[in-house]
Chains A and B, each alone.
Chain A
Amino acid sequence: MISVKKRTEIHPSERRIILKHADDPEYDVSLQCYLRHGGYEVMKQAYGRKPEELCQEVLDSEVRGRGGAGFPAGMKWKFLDRKSGKPIYLICNADESEPGTFKDRQIMHKDPHQLIEGMMISAYAIQAAQAFIYIREEMPLGAQILEEAIEEARARNLVGENILGSGYSCELVVHRGAAAYICGEETGLIESLEGKRAYPRIKPPYFPAALGLYMCPTIVNNVETLCNVKHIAEMGGKEYAKIGKPGNTGTRIWCLSGQVRNPGYYELENGMFTYGDLIYKIGGGLRDGRSLQAVIPGGSSAKVWRAGERFTGKLRSGEEFNWGIEDVPLDFDGPMAAGSMSGSGAVMVIDDSVDIVEVLANINAFYAHESCGQCTPCREGSLWMKKITTRMANGGARPEDAELLASIGDQIAGRTICAHGEACAWPTQSFIAKFRDKFVEKAKEDPERAQKRTVRLV
């Protein structure tokens, strides 16, 4: 049996539902261990209920997708085309690749049966003909753990033919990617699972709920979202909705990384904390002698915040707000009100020891590498932005670069088939908007100095 390192300390602010057992040193990935902890009991009860009741529970729970877009999962399920008569497919998006994100890794490596139970409940609820887990290539142990766990579950009739005598059958297959970020985009993932290049499809008409895998109705949900379904089925949608805040229900596993004292994953009740709590109280704040320069609030494609900036406006409730970064509520709506997004829950902290132009150069290198090449604005634009910021980082900055970068970014977003256009443009657009002075000053930098930096980012 494969085992991975556990985290020894759990922060007292955490409310662990999804990661309840994950870091328990006595807990392992075997079916026996899962059963000892009450595993598959929720599924047994769920299979005695009508599928539409379970769909209603998910709708009532108001649970929002944990993969990045934050779309209500129950609504996504409601869009399923049930009239076509074609088989329905369920896919777990385990391609966790947005820089800064490492939460699904914890679930799959430490509690695989929870994901399988969540998936088998979801599959039954939507009446899927077959289910898949699309896991990124860089998690070979995770794939092996899941394969072995599925075998164990199949031997107990929890996966496969006539599950638990219910008359419902569903196979669960682990499928491995091959190191392409774009497979995290759901239509790209579907193309990849069909055995093709992961070129995303245009929406409309190719909404997976109607025209997904093999042009059949398909639901693609994130690992953490599918685990939540288990807990929604257990406590009931309305009860689940009491956790967190309205419209931001449940807990969320936040991934804190970058230049912070205690990086890590923290499962917190939505809306009960702020970015300040996460970075300073839970994450221990910045390292000795360092001060905050920037925060990327939801994975590297999210728009950056500059230390000291204020966000003002009116919430949907009509309430006025005036926040600093540290006041932004840690949930889905807070970062959106502050002009960015919580994305995949990946919070990256950048201190004053690094050059902000280089930070963008690092991010741009990622998105240029990961563009699928289908749409000209993204393919060419992401590469141009990478080349310009790399040149700037290496001592070749010009006064007009800030303008040039902004104009390229502005010509990508909204002009591509998939959201990779936005993902590659938002960093450049927001870094220039927030740090224009630094990008302009960069042209005055001594090229020799550029070669002597202590932390290299490109």
Chain B
Amino acid sequence: MAFELSAETLSYIEKTIPRYPQKRSAIMMILHAIQKEKGLLSLEAQEWVAEKLDLAPIQVREVVTFYPFYREKPIGKRHIRVCRTLSCALNGGYKVCDAFKKEFHTELDEISPDGRVTVEFAECLASCGTAPVAMVDDQLYENLNEEQVAAICEQIKKETPAADTAGSKS
């Protein structure tokens, strides 16, 4: 099946490329847009980007595999990133991470059995003054404790239906 993108993403890509003096510079913003739509960056997607920017596919793949945020494998519907770095760790970041894992019966970097989330550790989220912190998708949550984590997880469960096929691991 040919690789296809929504009209919205396509128009964003067309608008983004000419913003840069050289089109190769648009690669990261394009990869962000595709990953947002598709949830991951498949090899087909990478080849599509290569063609779009007149690059060899490997020039796209080396970018995808270098930057931690780009992924070639799926994650849960919601992306939970708990800050692991010093100021958060000193204020209970590891406990916060454990609490998220427990709520969703999952381990780090896996898709939870209900398909709802993937819990990851992130390196310094630059909000050390309100440690410990975590991000759920684009939203930052600060000064977390176990009760607040429970409330956030309740919210996620309410907003996000469980996947039909439970227990799938990537």
A258 and B123 contacting across the interface, CB-CB below 8 Å: no
Contact A362 B127, CB 8 Å, known A178-B28, A178-B31, A456-B94: no
How many Å from the CB of B94 to the closest CB on chain A? 4
Instruction: Please determine whether B128 and A102 come into contact, CB atoms closer than 8 angstroms.
Output: yes
> How extensive is the interface on chain B, given as a class?
35 or more
| A138 and B122 form a contact (CB under 8 A) | yes
| Contact residues in B for A264 (Cβ distance below 8 Å) | 129
A255 to B24, CA, bound (A): 36
Q: How far is the CB of A189 from chain B (nearest CB, A)?
A: 12
A369 to B28, CA, bound (A): 20
Give the shortest distance, in Å, between A393 (CB) and chain B (any CB).
11
Residue on A nearest B35 in the bound complex, by CB: A178
Find out whether the CB atom of B19 lies under 8 angstroms from the CB atom of A457. no
Q: A346 interface residue, CB < 8 Å from B?
A: yes
Find chain A residues with CB under 8 A from B126 CB. Answer: 96-97, 101-102, 104-105, 136, 138-139
Given A96-B126, A180-B67, A180-B68, also A194-B85 (CB < 8 A) = no
B129 touches which of A214, A265, A354, A365 (Cβ 8 Å)? A265
Interface residue? B8 (CB, 8 A):
no
Asked if B90 lies at the interface with its beta carbon under 8 angstroms from chain A, I say yes
Known: A196-B63, A258-B87, A362-B85. A176 touches B129 (CB 8 A): no
Q: Is the CB of A258 within 8 A of B28?
A: no
CA distance A257 to B94 in the complex (A): 17
The minimal Cβ–Cβ distance linking B41 to chain A, given in whole angstroms, is 11
A130 within 8 A of B: yes
Chain A, Cβ-Cβ closest to B24: A195
Q: How far is the CA of A138 from the CA of B81 in the complex (A)?
A: 10
Please tell me which one of the listed residues B25, B67, B90, B128 contacts residue A255 in the complex, with CB atoms under 8 A apart.
B128
Does A313 sit within 8 A of B, measured CB to CB?
no
Q: Does A315 contact B (CB under 8 A)?
A: no
Q: Which residues of chain A from 360 to 382 have any CB-CB distance to chain B below 8 Å in the complex?
A: 362-363, 365-366, 369-370, 372
Nearest-CB distance from B11 to chain A (Å)?
16
Segment 1-22 of A: residues with Cβ below 8 Å from B: 5
- A348, B87: Cβ atoms under 8 Å? yes
In the complex, A197 has a CB within 8 A of chain B: yes
A387 to chain B, nearest CB (A): 17
A97 touches B124 (CB 8 A): yes
Q: CB of A404 within 8 A of chain B? A: no
The chain A residue with its CB closest to the CB of B89 is: A457
Contact call B32/A176, Cβ cutoff below 8 A: yes
Asked whether B86 lies within 8 Å of A362 as measured between CB atoms, the reply is yes
CB neighbors of B among A242-267 (8 A): 255-259, 263-265
**A372 proximity list for chain B (CB < 8 A):** 66
For A75-110 the 0/1 string (1 means CB < 8 A from B) is 000000000000100000000111111101100000
Confirm or deny: B70 has a beta carbon within 8 angstroms of a beta carbon on chain A.
yes
Q: Which of A198, A348, A369 contacts B123 (CB 8 A)?
A: A369
Query: Does B20 have its Cβ within 8 Å of any Cβ on chain A?
Result: yes
CB pair B24 A258 closer than 8 Å: no
Q: Contacts A97-B126, A138-B135, A256-B129 given: A359-B31 contact, CB under 8 Å?
A: no
Is the CB–CB distance between A259 and B94 below 8 Å? no
Query: Please, what's the 1-or-0 string for A394-414, where 1 marks a CB less than 8 Å from any CB in chain B?
Result: 000000000000000000000
Return chain B residues, CB-CB under 8 Å to A178. Answer: 28, 31-32, 67-70
Interfacial chain A residues near B26, Cβ < 8 Å:
195
A181 touches B90 (CB 8 A): no
Q: Which residues of B contact A350 (CB under 8 A)?
A: 90
- CB-CB < 8 A to A139: which residues of B? 126
Please tell me which one of the listed residues B67, B69, B84, B127 contacts residue A102 in the complex, with CB atoms under 8 A apart: B127
State whether the Cβ of A327 lies closer than 8 Å to any Cβ in chain B.
no
B19 touches A214 (CB 8 A): no
B22 to chain A, nearest CB (A): 6
Residue A61, interface by CB 8 Å:
no
Q: Give the chain B neighbours of A255 by CB distance below 8 A.
A: 128-129
CB atoms of B85 and A257 under 8 A apart: no
A179 interface neighbour in B20, B22, B68, Cβ under 8 Å: B68
Within 8 Å of chain B (Cβ to Cβ): is A141?
A: yes
Query: B29 near A: Cβ within 8 Å?
Result: yes
Cβ of A238 under 8 Å from chain B: no
Question: Which of B53, B67, B122, B129 gathers the greatest number of chain A CB atoms within 10 Å?
Answer: B129
Expressed in whole angstroms, the Cα–Cα distance for A219 and B127 within the complex equals 27
Asked if A173 lies at the interface with its beta carbon under 8 angstroms from chain B, I say yes
Question: Quick one: given A178-B70, A263-B128, are A194 and B86 in contact (CB under 8 Å)?
Answer: no
- A365 in contact with B67 given A100-B128, A263-B131, A456-B94 (CB within 8 Å): no
Residue B95 interfacial (CB < 8 Å): yes
Q: Is B119 an interface residue (CB 8 A)?
A: no
Q: How far is the CA of A87 from the CA of B91 in the complex (A)?
A: 47
- Between-chain CB contacts (< 8 Å), 27 pairs: A100-B128, A101-B124, A101-B126, A129-B21, A136-B126, A138-B122, A138-B135, A141-B140, A176-B28, A177-B28, A178-B69, A179-B68, A179-B69, A181-B124, A196-B62, A196-B63, A257-B129, A258-B128, A265-B129, A348-B86, A348-B90, A359-B90, A362-B84, A362-B86, A362-B89, A455-B90, A457-B86
Q: Apart from A192-B28, A195-B63, A362-B89, list 15 A-B contacts with CB within 8 A.
A: A99-B85, A99-B86, A102-B126, A105-B127, A140-B138, A179-B68, A195-B22, A196-B62, A197-B63, A257-B131, A263-B87, A346-B128, A455-B92, A456-B89, A456-B95
Which residue numbers of B lie inside 8 Å of A, CB to CB? 19-22, 24-29, 31-32, 53, 59, 62-63, 66-70, 81, 84-87, 89-92, 94-95, 122-131, 135, 138, 140, 142
4 A-B pairs closest in CB distance: A178-B67, A257-B128, A195-B24, A257-B87
